[in-house]
Structure 1
Amino acid sequence: MNTLDLILQKTTTLPPYPVVVQKVLHLVDDPKSSAEDLVGVIQYDQALTAHILRVCNSAYFGLR
């Protein structure tokens, strides 16, 4: 039995995605969606907004 099988045996359930994540994934896959559509979904989720701001403000994405 490989490691993946052992992990799957020990995992009983996976937590569901939050509704906001489901909506964001749907919008990202939709070619007709816009940045404004994404803003409309994520603006009310504090944790997701904080994470996005942290990534955008990181040195990797820093303005030159």
Structure 2
Amino acid sequence: MPNYEFVKSSYSGGNPENACVEVARNIATTVAIRDSKHPTGPVLRVTPTTWQTFTTHIEQG
């Protein structure tokens, strides 16, 4: 398994009560997403294009 470098969203506030998703974009062909409350749990992996489409739709409401 690749060594993903997960980053928590700046919207999370940095404390456990504000847990959210973490995203790793350090592998060129994969964006990995996981639940910050369960860092050893499952990891969803998508292509960078899929991730960009997803985040664009979120930003557009």
Normalising by structure 1, what TM-score? 0.28
Q: Which has the higher contact order (CA 8 A, sep 6+)?
A: 2
- Structure showing greater Rg: 1
Whichever structure has more helix as a proportion of its residues is: 1
